[in-house]
Amino acid sequence: MKLIWYLSLLATIPAAIGAAIAARSGFADESVHLVQCDLYRGSVRDGARDYVFYFPSDYEVVALGNPESSSTPNDPMPHDGMAYHIDWTSGTPEKPITASPGGRPFSLANLKRNGDGIGALVQATAALNDVDMHCYNEGIRLASPSPGNWTCQSQYSCTRSDRWFRSASLKMFKQTTTVSATGCDKEPWLATPSEAFAHYSTWATNKDEPGTTYNIGGGCSISFNVVGANPSDKYPYSPSDIQSFFTSFIVPHVTSTGITDSSRVCNVPGDDFPSGTRYTKSYSYPRQGYLNIRTSQQDNQDNFFDHEYHWAVTCPKKCDTNPVISIFTTIVTGLAGQPFIGPAAKGAAAFFTGAMATTNFAGGFC
């Protein structure tokens, strides 16, 4: 049985990448954030404001931070003084907290604060445009709609309960293939790993046949294929998104010997005797693998479909195996340069940091 590397990406793909899925299925990836903003003069707080922010997608939340629209919430509770924040737990069915970001009626009642971490579901009765929403603990910093030295932080986020979200996993064969070339008195040409995986964009954009090969030097080639649950929707993500993922998460696993010279001489054109220096260059690739993107319904994760993005590196009669291979499992920070988003938009730490662990595995056989 062929051995496989498992690289679990414990996060999900931003709505911007999966917008085609959301639109096709009729489920919006919109979200509402309950935000408090503070104005400081030095270390002294000089003002407090609260907002309900509306974002059309999770990607807009993290990558941009600026809401599409915002609204000052109606506070059902009386207060003394000028600088205070709304108590987001104060809404009741009779007197809910209300707002209208972009003219979209939003209501919130019965929110129960808990001590769980960022992204944890909280009890609440929330609706946007009469569509039920689920709410989660937050903590992400967002842009202020007010000029001046205001700092804003989302306290809670709410998303549609019928929302879809995306998750990703990467699987790579433990077997490796070495792409190598030699040159006489000059550096031999090989495509860099980034250049090799850039062929994915060519393949997907041109919609070439599955398995079409692209030259990466040394007599070797790279090929691609997409396997999806919806054949009519074969390319739901942009070619540049998937190419960037390959570059970010597969290329680091490609090892290089660099340029090495040897005492062996070679024939330089025009010379009567072998006098040139032989130079060798090589890259060792994971032999093949695929990125799996799963789209699941938030409240019924047994309802899902997958898209698999396959690649393979082949060389004539070349298949090498490392005796021991180190791989890592990480909470990744982004796909295609964009943040991963969970079932609800999580805090900044979930987007911009990652935990990494390394494991050694014995090599496979060709």
pLDDT tens-digit map of 159-213: 887 777 667 778 888 788 999 998 888 888 999 999 999 999 999 999 899 999 9
Structure confidence at residue 234 as a pLDDT band (50, 70, 90): very low
Domain-located, residue 25: no
pLDDT at residue 359 is higher than 80? no
**Domain count within the chain:** 2
Structure confidence at residue 63 as a pLDDT band (50, 70, 90): low
Domain-located, residue 238: yes
Cα-based distances in Å from 106 to 26, 75, 215, 251? 20, 13, 55, 45
pLDDT at residue 107 is higher than 60? yes
355 and 232 in a common domain: yes
259 and 278 in a common domain: yes
Domain-located, residue 239: yes
- Which comes out higher in pLDDT, residue 153 or 263? 153
313 and 186 in a common domain: yes
Looking at residue 239, its pLDDT comes to: 87
Which SS3 state, helix, strand or coil, does residue 60 take?
A: helix
281 and 251 in a common domain: yes
Looking at residue 290, its pLDDT comes to: 87
Domain-located, residue 199: yes
296 and 284 in a common domain: yes
Domain-located, residue 96: yes
Q: Nearest-CA neighbor of 170 among 363, 14, 9?
A: 9
336 and 198 in a common domain: yes
222 and 156 in a common domain: no
Q: Which of 146, 162, 178 is the last residue of a domain?
A: 162
Domain-located, residue 23: no
Q: Which of 100, 127, 162 is the last residue of a domain?
A: 162
pLDDT digits (tens, 9 = 90+) for 302-348: 888 888 899 999 998 654 444 333 333 333 333 333 333 333 333 32
206 and 149 in a common domain: no
- Which comes out higher in pLDDT, residue 297 or 74? 74
Check: CB of residue 34 under 8 Å from CB of residue 157: yes
The alpha carbon of 248 is separated from its chain's Cα centroid by a whole number of angstroms, namely 10
How confident is the prediction for the chain on average, in pLDDT?
74
Kindly report the pTM of this predicted structure. Answer: 0.58
- Which comes out higher in pLDDT, residue 58 or 99? 99
174 and 127 in a common domain: no
Rounded average pLDDT over 140-155: 86
Per-range mean pLDDT, top range of 20-24, 83-87, 150-154, 249-253: 150-154
pLDDT digits (tens, 9 = 90+) for 302-314: 888 888 899 999 9
Parent domain of 42: 30-162
pLDDT at residue 51 is higher than 90? yes
Rounded CA-CA distance 65/67 in Å is 6
Q: Nearest-CA neighbor of 196 among 315, 339, 307, 292?
A: 315
Check: CB of residue 110 under 8 Å from CB of residue 93: yes
- Which comes out higher in pLDDT, residue 154 or 348? 154
Rounded CA-CA distance 56/3 in Å is 42
Q: Which of 130, 146, 162 is the last residue of a domain?
A: 162
262 and 157 in a common domain: no
137 and 47 in a common domain: yes
Looking at residue 98, its pLDDT comes to: 97
236 and 208 in a common domain: yes
Rounded CA-CA distance 94/83 in Å is 26
For 233, phi then psi, to 5°, come to -120, 60
- Which comes out higher in pLDDT, residue 119 or 110? 110
Domain-located, residue 24: no
Amino acid at 296: S
